[in-house]
């Protein structure tokens, strides 16, 4: 199968044979474990591969779209219709787990894809808040950051689109009732908010990354567990084959995360 050969050739194979991008796919897939029959809404190639991997393996009940208006099964055949208007309504019903991008994210999970600098006249206009506000107070929202740096992981975001734990708490029960940020995945590791004050915690390191690497690339004080940080789990041979041969044979994951 030439697709297999191409897939492997294009991957930057590490010592263990698993690339960093493949660990990222596994870490994203794990976000949807145990979610049951909900819509998985991944943004970007690696979260998308992760969501489809989860459905093909340990979370078969997940629903996925074609990125437009159709719900599609694992073979790509439509199983339902989900135009934007229904998608926005489904968000408020809560049966969804989205993984959004983040141009900035802070230690309590406030997220920004709107603009950098002063909102009145930004130094860099980005997308706008999009669905960040509606997503974060209605259904679980995880985040994906392909290039972990202190410019992304900041002390305070310039414009809160995605609501973090401190902002939700300050806003009261309407904001906290359905608010949950299960995880943040970056090219360096996995992060969560399983701390007393919901400050971001280093949950796992991708193999080849050190705690020092992560600390150096983070613009705020991360919670580092005293009893050591585990590594992101290894993909099974069957998962690797699925990723490389079926889900991402062209190796789009390697364009998002190198090495």
Partner 1 sequence: MGDKTMTADEAVSRLESGMTLGIGGWGSRRKPMALVRALLRTAITDLTVVSYGGPDVGMLAAAGRIRKLVAPFATLDSIPLEPHYRTARESGSLELMEIDEAMFMWGLRASANRLPFLPVRAGIGSDVMRVNPGLRTVTSPYEDESTGVRETFVAMPALRLDAALVHLNRADHAGNGQYLGPDPYFDDLFCEAARTAYVSCERIVDTAELTKAAPPQTLLVKRLNVSGVVEAPGGAHFTSCVPDHDRDEGFQRLYASMPWPEFAGRFLAGDEQAYRTAVRAWHEEQS
Residues that bind partner 1 (CB under 8 A): 68-70, 81, 83-85, 88, 91-92, 114-115, 119-134, 136-138, 159-163, 167-168, 170-175, 177-179
The residue (of 131 and 189) whose beta carbon lies closer to partner 1 is: 131
User: Is residue 47 within 8 Å of residue 27, measured between CB atoms?
Assistant: no
For the four alpha carbons of 175, 186, 31 and 49, in that order, the dihedral sign comes to positive
Q: In terms of C-beta density within 10 A (0-12 exposed, 13-18 middle, 19 or more buried), how is residue 74 classed?
A: middle
Enumerate the β-bridge partners of residue 115. 125
- The minimum distance between CB 196 and partner 1, in angstroms, equals 20
Q: How far is the CB of 211 from partner 1 (least distance, A)?
A: 31
Q: Cβ of residue 156: shortest distance to partner 1, in angstroms?
A: 11
Residue closer to partner 1 by CB (options 53, 159) is 159
DSSP H helical ranges for the chain: 2-10, 20-31, 45-56, 84-93, 132-136, 165-171, 173-176, 211-216, 237-241, 252-256
Q: Return the C-alpha torsion angle 29, 33, 36, 39, nearest 10.
A: -30
Q: Give the nearer residue to partner 1 in terms of CB position, either 56 or 96.
A: 96
Closest to partner 1 by CB, 51 vs 163, is 163
Task: Tell me which residue of 191, 142, 146 sits closest to 41, measured CA to CA.
Answer: 142
Q: Which is nearer to partner 1, 8 or 70 (CB)?
A: 70
Q: What is the DSSP letter of 242?
A: I
Name which of 25 and 168 has its Cβ closer to partner 1: 168
- Cβ of residue 174: shortest distance to partner 1, in angstroms? 4
Q: How far is it, in rounded angstroms, from Cα 255 to Cα 131? A: 26
Least gap, CB of 19 to partner 1 (angstroms): 25
Taking the complex as a whole, how short is the minimal distance between the CB of residue 172 and partner 1, in angstroms?
7
């Amino acid at each position: 199968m030439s697709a297999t050969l191409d897939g492997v050739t294009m991957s930057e194979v590490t010592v263990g044979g698993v690339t960093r991008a493949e660990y990222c796919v596994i870490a994203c897939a794990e976000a949807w474990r145990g979610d049951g029959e909900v819509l998985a809404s991944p943004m970007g190639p690696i979260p998308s591969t992760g969501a489809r991997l989860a459905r093909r393996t340990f979370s078969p009940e997940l629903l996925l779209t074609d990125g437009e208006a159709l719900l599609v099964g694992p073979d790509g055949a439509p199983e339902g219709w989900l135009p934007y208007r229904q998608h926005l309504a489904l968000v408020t019903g809560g049966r969804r787990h989205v993984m959004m991008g983040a141009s900035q994210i802070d230690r309590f999970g406030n997220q920004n894809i709107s603009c950098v600098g002063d909102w009145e006249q930004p130094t860099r206009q980005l997308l706008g808040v999009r669905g960040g506000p509606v997503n974060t107070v209605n259904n679980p929202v995880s985040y994906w950051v392909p290039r972990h740096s202190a410019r992304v992981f900041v002390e305070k975001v310039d414009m809160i689109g995605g609501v973090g734990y401190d902002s939700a708490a300050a806003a009261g029960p309407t904001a906290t009732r359905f608010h949950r940020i299960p995880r943040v995945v970056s090219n360096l590791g996995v992060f969560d908010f399983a701390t007393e004050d919901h400050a971001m915690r280093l949950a796992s390191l991708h193999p080849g990354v050190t705690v020092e690497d992560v600390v150096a690339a983070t613009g705020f004080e991360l919670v580092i567990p005293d009893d050591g940080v585990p590594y992101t789990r290894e993909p099974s041979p069957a998962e690797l084959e699925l990723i490389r041969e079926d889900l991402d044979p062209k190796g789009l994951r390697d364009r998002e995360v190198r090495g």
